[in-house]
Structure 1
Amino acid sequence: MKHYSISLISYLNSRPFLYGLENHPIRDSIRIFLDIPSKTAIKLIDHQADIGLVPVGALTDLPGHRIISDYCISAAGAVRTVVLASDVPLEEIETVLLDYQSRSSVLLVRVLARFFWKKEFRWEKSSAGYEKKAISGKTAAVVIGDRVFEVEKRFRYIFDLSAEWMKFSGLPFVFAVWVAMEELPAAFRDLFNTAVGFGVKSVPEVEELVKDEYPGVDLNSYFNGNISYLLNDPKRQGMARFLELATRLREIMP
């Protein structure tokens, strides 16, 4: 029996997917690897994974990719865990550090800066630990994932990038989708979709499982209010709009 390798993002927002895959009969035919978002597409390119929860911002690096599931990581408004953190208001920010763990979010902040905020920033790369020491004065930073639960307590200005996208476009934002580079057997695709859907339906069990890891976090509000998992038509429209703007941005960037 073939075992499929799966690269899964290692954040709280993907824990329902992990729960579904680990508690469904599909577990006997898969191997799961937990990765930061910027690594999942690389693993598909390098044939280190058969399936990945891939940042939408990386899809253009995957010609011929196939979206294989009806589920995704998205938000229709504030997502909470993808932010621009700053000591000063948006109009006073001069430098933005880009989260090294991210693909979609660093592209999103540049799209917003160009087409919505009409702001010119100095963009700089980051490295591990930057969110603890490098955000100061007129230097802000994009921070994603579970680290935001601490970052949001420390800075006066927290700009939720998904909420900003909704203000700009009127559409939901899709952060990551399930992707394969090769055609999968229809029976396995159906089984996979059922498994991740089972995880989404099991959010109360996931909350109970992870509550000690996230003290002080309103898990019910996060899973049911901030994160949205079904990849429906409005989200596909939002994804297409974002990729269109990202392409335009690349054409005009120096």
Structure 2
Amino acid sequence: MKDIKLALVGYLNTKPFEYGLKTSLSKEIYSIYYDNPAHCVKLYENDKVDVALVPVGALSSIGEYKIITDSCIGCDDHVRTVVLMSNEKIEDCKHVVLDSHSRTSAILTRILLKEYWNTNPRYSTVNIDEIEELESGEAVLMIGDKVFENEKKYKYSYDLGHYWKKLTGLPFAYAVWIAKGHVSQSAIDQLSIDLNNGINSIDQVIEEQRIKEPLHDLESYYRDNIDYVLDTEKRKALDLYLTKMSELELVHE
């Protein structure tokens, strides 16, 4: 079997995937590149990797791909690490600062603000790491591990997984595994086995991460917030999300 060059988002929510890959009997076939969601897409588009975990908001702009495996980064309600934060109610915010690391969450924010909260704020996109304080009337989208460090900093916090569920009645898939056409079925089958083994090793992952991240409630995060199975309902949610994205003319933004 040929080696697989693979792009993996370097967040805590992907640790089960990483565990499965690194403990696999076939681990020698994987060359793993870690980056933020947006850069994982670039690695895939620039043919630096054969397989990638990519945010679903990028699928419409990627040329050649096929969704592989029944694994994803998803949620059935509260996701905890994709949130809008502000010091005022979101309905009163006139400016929303979006995180440049994830187009998927930025588009989800715009869908929810329009369809759930019926607001039309001004948007800007920045590297959230550079944000120090919000001005009056501002909200900020935060994703990934940085949420843990900031979730008590602001007066209001809106979990986008929860509000998507309230809007649609569906779960959500934030990122899915895709592959180039030349990747063999045997390689995909092996990858699927290893990812599932990682998902089924949550106890070991929690124990490892508890040592590295003692201040975060990771057991609740892994067990109650993140859902790793790309099931029928999440596939429905993915189709609906892409439809709403197209309706809002956000496909090429």
**Fold conserved (TM > 0.5)?**
yes
Change in Cα spacing, 1:16 to 1:129, as seen in structure 2 (3 Å) is same
Q: Give the TM-score of the pair, scaled to structure 1.
A: 0.95
Question: Matched residue of 1:25: which SS?
Answer: coil
1:215, distance to aligned residue in structure 2 (A): 2.1
Partner of 1:236: 235
Question: Matched residue of 1:14: which SS?
Answer: helix
Whole-angstrom distance in 1 between the partners of 2:179 and 2:251: 30
Write out aligned runs for 1:11-90 (5 A). 11-90=11-90
1:92, distance to aligned residue in structure 2 (A): 1.1
1:139, distance to aligned residue in structure 2 (A): 1.1
Change in Cα spacing, 1:252 to 1:179, as seen in structure 2 (3 Å) is closer
Question: Matched residue of 1:171: which SS?
Answer: coil
Change in Cα spacing, 1:141 to 1:14, as seen in structure 2 (3 Å) is same
1:25, distance to aligned residue in structure 2 (A): 1.9
Q: Determine whether 1:4 maps to 2:4.
A: yes
Query: Whose helix fraction is larger, Structure 1's or Structure 2's?
Result: 1
Q: Which 4+ stretches in 1 moved above 6 angstroms?
A: 251-254
Write out aligned runs for 1:1-254 (5 A). 2-131=2-131, 133-250=132-249
1:39, distance to aligned residue in structure 2 (A): 0.9
Contact 2:90 2:139 (C-alpha < 8 Å) held by counterparts:
no
Identity of aligned residues (%): 34
**Count of residues in Structure 1 that have an aligned counterpart in Structure 2:** 253
Counterpart of 1:209, as a letter, is: E
Whole-angstrom distance in 2 between the partners of 1:197 and 1:142: 30
Whole-angstrom distance in 2 between the partners of 1:118 and 1:79: 22
Question: Matched residue of 1:129: which SS?
Answer: helix
Q: Pairwise CA RMSD of aligned residues?
A: 1.6
Alpha-carbon displacement from aligned partner over 1:126-151 (angstroms, at most 9, x marks no partner): 125234x1423211110000000111
Change in Cα spacing, 1:50 to 1:251, as seen in structure 2 (3 Å) is closer
Whole-angstrom distance in 2 between the partners of 1:142 and 1:27: 36
Contact 2:245 2:251 (C-alpha < 8 Å) held by counterparts:
no
Whole-angstrom distance in 2 between the partners of 1:105 and 1:134: 21
Give the stretch that moved more between structures: 42-51 or 181-190.
Answer: 181-190
1:90, distance to aligned residue in structure 2 (A): 1.1
Q: Which runs of 5+ in 1 are unaligned?
A: none
